[in-house]
C-alpha cells in the first residue's frame, strides 16, 4: 500500500506540473479557489493518496458493523426503504387529521406533526400572546381532546408518528400514550419520535420556556419515564436541522448536534440511567442543504462519530452505537422567486439524504417560501421521494458512494473539523460535555459561531459569489405569488370554543390536584412525567401544565448576539 501511495503521489505531482499547469490560464491560477458551501477548500481531483491514511476495515467497514460509516443496517434500503414522513399540520385537529389521511392514502409511511406556535411555546389558544397565531403554522393543540380528534381513525399500532415539539414535549408524549391506551394498543407497540431537544433551541430555534438547567432536567425525566413506559418510542430527536437553518456551516451543524447528544447522554448517566437502555431510544435529525457531496459526507461522518462516542461512553450493545437519523431538506434554500425551481433543489437535497443513509426523510414543498404547503405542492414533495426510491435505482446498493476518493476524503475532513469543535466545548466544560454545552449557551458561544457563519453566507450572496438561481442570477420578470393554502380565519375562534367546552366539562378538582402534584414534584426534584401524564388525562391544558412549571423554574430569555 505504502509503495503504491508513493507512486501515486509522485504521479500526481507530475500530473499537476505537466498536465494541469499548462492547461490553466494565468487568471485561472490566481483567482481559482473552490470550496464547499461550508468553506472547505477543495482540490481539482482526489486520488487514493488523499485517503491513504484511512483504513478500510477500521474507518469504513461493512454496513451494519462498527463504525457504521456505510449505514447502520447491513442491507439498508434493499431491506426496507426509509420512512417517507412529511411534516404537516395546520388549523384544527380536524383539518390536520384530514391532511394526514390524504397523505397516508398517497403512500406516506409515517406521520409527522407540525404544531402551531402557541402549542410549541406551551400556551393555550386563548392566551393573549397566541392571538393571530392559532392554527397558522401548524395544528393547534390545547388538551387531550384535540389529540383524540387528531388521531381519529389512525391506528397507533400500525403507524409511527413524529412530533416536532420541545418545551412541552413531555406533555405531547403523555397525550400520545394516553391515546394509545384509549385505542387499546400495547405500550410497547407505540412508535414515533418527540423532538424534545431543548439544547438546540438555545443555540438556534429559540422556542424556549424554561431556563437551560430546568430544560435538561425535564428532558432527562422524559428519558427515565419513556424507557419504562414506551420502550419503542424515540424519546429525543437531537437536531442539527435548526442550527443549519439559523445559518451554520455543515461542520457546525454536525459538531453542535453531536455535542448536544453527548450532553444528553451525560445527563442520563448522571441520573443513573442505563446507557444501553437509553441508546435505542435516541434519534437524530439533520438538514440536507445544497452542497450535494458535503451533505453526504456529513451524514457518513455523523454515523462514524456517534458510534465511537457511544462506545466510549461504555455502551455495550452494538445497537447502542447506531445513529438513526431523520433528514429534512433545507427550508432556507427555498426561493419565493420561480418557485417551481424548488422542486429541483429539493430533489437534489433528498438524493443526498438517501445516499447518506437516512432512516426517514421529509421533503419540502415548492411553495413554502410563500406559505404552508398546498395539497398539490405536498404531493409533489412526496412523489419526489417515491421517484428516488422506485425509479432512480440508487437504493439497489448500500452506500454507493463509499470508496469515492472525494467522498471519503471529505467525510474524514468533516469529521476532523467537527472533533475540533467538540474538544473546544469539552474544554469549556472542564472535561464535561454537559457543562461545556451549558457554558456555551451561557456565554453565547454557539449563537456567536452560527451568527458569524450566517453573516458570511449572506455576504457571499450579496456580493454575487454565492449564486441563487432565479434570485441573484437568471432572474425573470414574473408575477409574484402562487396559489397557496389558506387557513380558515375561523380556526382560532373554533379552537378557543373547544377549549372552553373542555374546561367546562372536565373534572376540575382532578385537574387542580394533578397540577398541585406536578408543582410539588417540581419543587422536590422528582420526575415530572407521572404527574404530567395524570394531568393530561384529566384534560389539563398545555398552558396550565407549562404554567405550573414556569412558577417553579421561572422563565428564560436568552441574551441577544447579533
Partner 1 sequence: MNVSDFIDGITAGNRRVLAKAISLVENEHPLAKEILRGVYGRTGRAQIIGITGFPGTGKSTIVSKLVEEFRKREKSVGVVAVDPSSPFTGGALLGDRVRLEGADVSKDLWIDAKVFFRSMGSRGRVGGIAKKTGEVVKLLDAGGYEVIFVETVGAGQSEVGIMEIADTIVVVLMPETGDDIQVNKAGILEIGDIFVINKSDLEGAENVERWLKYMLSLDETIQSADKEVAKWQKRVIRTVATKGIGIKELADAICEHFEFLKLNGILKAKRAEKAKLMAIELAIEDIKAEILKRYGNLLEENASDPYAVAEKIVKELIKP
Partner 2 sequence: MDKIRVLIAKIGLDGHDRGAKVIARFLRDAGFEVIYTGIHRTPQEVARAVIDEDVDVLGISILSGAHNTIVPRVLDYIRQYGGNPQDLVVLVGGTIPAEDIAKLREIGVDEVFIPGTPISEIIRFIKEKVAEKRGKL
Query: Which residues contact partner 1 by CB under 8 A?
Result: 555, 557, 559-560, 562
Q: Is 421 in the site for partner 2 (CB under 8 A)?
A: no
Q: Is 469 in the site for partner 2 (CB under 8 A)?
A: no
Picked from partner 2, partner 1, none, the partner binding residue 79 (CB below 5 to 8 A depending on kind) is none
Q: Is 370 in the site for partner 2 (CB under 8 A)?
A: yes
Q: For partner 2, which is the closer residue by CB, 204 or 529?
A: 204
Strand 236-239 vs strand 282-288: parallel, antiparallel, or unpaired? parallel
Q: For partner 1, which is the closer residue by CB, 57 or 562?
A: 562
The DSSP line for 373-404 is PPHHHHHHHHHHHHHHHHTS-TTSSSSTTTT-
Picked from partner 2, partner 1, none, the partner binding residue 154 (CB below 5 to 8 A depending on kind) is none
Query: Terminal CA-to-CA distance of the chain, rounded, Å?
Result: 50
Q: For partner 2, which is the closer residue by CB, 369 or 510?
A: 369
Q: Is 468 in the site for partner 2 (CB under 8 A)?
A: yes
Q: Residue 307 is placed in which grid cell?
A: 458510534
Cβ atoms of 532 and 174 within 8 Å: the answer is yes
Instruction: Select from 439, 415, 549 the least CA-distant residue to 203.
Output: 439
Among 439, 472, 513, 537, binds partner 2 (CB under 8 A): 472
**How many residues belong to the site for partner 2 (CB under 8 A)?**
46
Residue environment code for 23-51, b if the CB has 16+ CB neighbours within 10 A, otherwise e: eeeeeeeeeeeeebbbebebeeebbbbbb
Q: Give least dist CB 557 to partner 1, A.
A: 6
User: Distance (Å, rounded) from C-alpha 459 to C-alpha 461?
Assistant: 5
Picked from partner 2, partner 1, none, the partner binding residue 102 (CB below 5 to 8 A depending on kind) is none
Picked from partner 1, partner 2, none, the partner binding residue 133 (CB below 5 to 8 A depending on kind) is partner 2
Give kind and range of the element (H or E) at residue 1. none
Q: Give least dist CB 560 to partner 2, A.
A: 5
Q: Is 206 in the site for partner 2 (CB under 8 A)?
A: yes
In the range 83-142, which residues lie near partner 2 by CB under 8 A?
Answer: 117-118, 120-121, 123, 129-133, 136-137
Q: Is 471 in the site for partner 2 (CB under 8 A)?
A: yes
Picked from partner 2, partner 1, none, the partner binding residue 71 (CB below 5 to 8 A depending on kind) is none
Give the contact letters, 31-70, x = binds to partner 2 (CB under 8 A), - = no.
----------------------------------------
CB atoms within 10 A of CB 561: 14
Helix runs in 32-163, H state only: 93-105, 117-120, 144-150
Picked from partner 1, partner 2, none, the partner binding residue 555 (CB below 5 to 8 A depending on kind) is partner 1
CB atoms within 10 A of CB 433: 24
Q: Is 551 in the site for partner 2 (CB under 8 A)?
A: no
Among 71, 170, 212, 247, binds partner 2 (CB under 8 A): 247
Q: For partner 1, which is the closer residue by CB, 127 or 412?
A: 127
Q: Give least dist CB 72 to partner 1, A.
A: 42
Q: For partner 2, which is the closer residue by CB, 159 or 471?
A: 471
Q: For partner 1, which is the closer residue by CB, 430 or 524?
A: 430
Give kind and range of the element (H or E) at residue 360. strand 360-362
**How buried is 12 (Cβ within 10 angstroms: 0-12 exposed, 13-18 middle, 19+ buried)?**
middle
Residue 441 CA, distance from chain mean position: 19
Q: Residue 364 is placed in which grid cell?
A: 419540502
Q: Is 394 in the site for partner 2 (CB under 8 A)?
A: no
Q: Residue 274 is placed in which grid cell?
A: 442505563
Give the contact letters, 474-493, x = binds to partner 2 (CB under 8 A), - = no.
------xxx-x--x------
Q: Is 205 in the site for partner 2 (CB under 8 A)?
A: yes
Q: Is 454 in the site for partner 2 (CB under 8 A)?
A: yes
What CA–CA distances, in Å, run from 469 to 277, 334, 342, 461?
47, 11, 10, 11
Cβ atoms of 124 and 144 within 8 Å: the answer is no
φ, ψ at 64 (rounded to 5°): 85, 0
Q: Which residues contact 66 (CB under 8 A, 6 or more apart)?
A: 307, 311, 318, 321
Picked from partner 2, partner 1, none, the partner binding residue 336 (CB below 5 to 8 A depending on kind) is partner 2
Q: For partner 2, which is the closer residue by CB, 132 or 403?
A: 132
- Helices then strands, counting H and E runs in the chain, come out as 22, 9
Cβ atoms of 333 and 344 within 8 Å: the answer is no
Among 102, 104, 182, 332, binds partner 2 (CB under 8 A): 332
**Where do contacts with partner 2 occur on this chain (CB under 8 A)?**
117-118, 120-121, 123, 129-133, 136-137, 205-208, 245-247, 332, 334-337, 368-372, 451, 454-455, 458, 461-462, 468, 471-472, 480-482, 484, 487, 557, 560, 562
Amino acid at each position: 500500500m505504502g509503495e503504491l501511495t508513493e507512486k501515486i503521489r509522485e504521479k500526481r505531482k507530475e500530473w499537476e506540473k505537466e498536465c494541469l499547469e499548462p492547461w490553466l490560464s494565468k487568471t485561472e491560477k490566481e483567482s481559482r479557489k473552490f470550496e464547499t458551501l461550508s468553506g472547505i477548500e477543495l482540490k481539482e481531483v482526489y486520488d487514493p493518496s488523499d485517503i491513504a491514511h484511512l483504513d478500510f476495515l477500521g474507518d469504513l467497514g461493512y454496513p451494519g458493523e462498527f463504525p457504521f460509516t456505510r449505514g447502520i443496517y447491513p442491507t439498508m434500503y434493499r431491506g426496507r426503504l426509509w420512512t417517507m414522513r412529511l411534516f404537516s399540520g395546520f388549523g384544527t385537529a380536524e383539518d390536520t387529521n384530514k391532511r394526514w389521511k390524504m397523505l397516508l392514502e398517497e403512500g406516506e409511511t409515517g406521520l409527522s406533526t407540525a404544531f402551531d406556535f402557541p402549542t410549541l411555546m406551551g400556551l393555550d389558544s386563548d392566551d393573549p400572546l397566541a392571538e393571530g397565531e392559532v392554527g397558522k403554522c401548524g395544528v393547534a393543540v390545547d388538551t387531550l381532546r384535540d389529540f383524540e380528534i387528531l388521531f381519529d381513525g389512525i391506528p397507533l399500532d400500525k403507524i409511527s408518528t413524529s412530533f416536532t415539539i420541545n418545551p412541552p414535549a413531555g406533555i405531547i408524549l403523555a397525550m400520545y400514550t394516553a391515546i394509545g391506551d384509549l385505542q387499546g394498543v400495547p405500550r410497547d407497540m407505540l412508535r414515533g419520535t418527540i423532538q424534545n431537544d431543548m439544547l438546540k433551541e438555545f443555540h438556534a430555534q429559540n422556542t424556549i420556556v424554561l431556563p437551560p438547567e430546568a430544560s435538561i432536567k425535564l428532558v432527562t425525566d422524559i428519558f427515565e419515564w419513556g424507557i419504562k413506559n414506551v420502550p419503542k418510542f424515540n424519546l429525543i430527536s437531537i437536531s442539527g436541522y435548526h442550527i443549519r437553518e439559523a445559518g451554520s456551516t455543515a461542520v457546525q451543524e454536525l459538531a453542535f448536534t453531536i455535542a448536544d447528544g453527548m450532553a444528553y447522554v451525560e445527563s442520563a448517566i448522571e441520573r443513573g440511567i442505563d446507557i444501553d437502555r437509553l441508546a435505542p431510544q435516541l434519534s437524530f435529525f439533520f438538514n440536507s442543504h445544497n452542497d450535494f457531496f458535503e451533505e453526504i459526507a456529513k451524514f457518513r461522518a455523523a454515523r462514524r462519530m456517534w458510534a465511537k462516542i457511544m462506545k466510549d461512553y461504555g455502551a455495550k450493545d452494538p445497537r447502542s452505537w447506531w445513529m438513526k437519523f431523520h433528514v429534512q431538506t433545507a427550508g432556507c434554500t427555498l426561493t419565493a422567486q420561480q418557485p417551481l425551481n424548488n422542486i429541483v433543489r429539493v430533489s437534489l437535497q433528498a438524493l443526498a439524504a438517501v445516499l447518506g443513509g437516512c432512516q426517514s426523510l421529509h421533503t419540502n414543498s415548492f411553495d413554502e417560501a410563500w406559505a404552508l404547503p398546498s395539497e398539490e405542492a405536498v404531493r409533489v414533495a412526496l412523489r419526489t421521494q417515491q421517484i428516488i426510491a422506485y425509479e432512480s435505482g440508487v437504493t439497489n446498493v448500500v452506500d454507493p458512494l463509499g470508496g469515492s476518493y472525494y467522498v471519503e476524503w471529505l467525510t474524514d475532513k468533516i469529521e476532523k473539523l467537527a472533533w475540533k469543535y467538540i474538544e473546544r466545548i469539552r474544554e469549556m466544560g472542564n472535561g464535561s460535555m454537559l457543562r461545556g454545552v451549558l457554558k456555551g449557551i451561557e456565554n453565547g458561544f454557539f449563537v456567536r459561531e452560527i451568527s458569524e457563519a450566517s453573516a458570511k453566507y449572506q455576504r457571499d450572496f450579496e456580493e454575487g459569489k454565492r449564486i441563487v438561481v432565479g434570485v441573484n442570477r437568471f432572474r425573470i420578470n414574473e408575477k409574484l405569488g402562487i396559489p397557496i393554502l389558506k387557513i380558515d380565519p375561523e380556526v382560532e375562534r373554533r379552537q378557543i370554543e373547544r377549549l372552553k367546552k373542555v374546561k367546562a366539562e372536565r373534572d376540575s378538582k382532578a385537574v387542580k390536584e394533578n397540577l398541585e402534584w406536578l408543582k410539588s414534584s417540581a419543587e422536590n426534584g422528582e420526575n415530572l412525567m407521572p404527574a404530567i401524564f395524570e394531568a393530561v388525562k384529566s384534560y389539563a391544558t398545555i398552558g396550565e401544565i407549562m404554567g405550573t412549571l414556569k412558577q417553579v423554574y421561572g422563565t428564560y430569555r436568552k441574551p441577544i448576539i447579533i
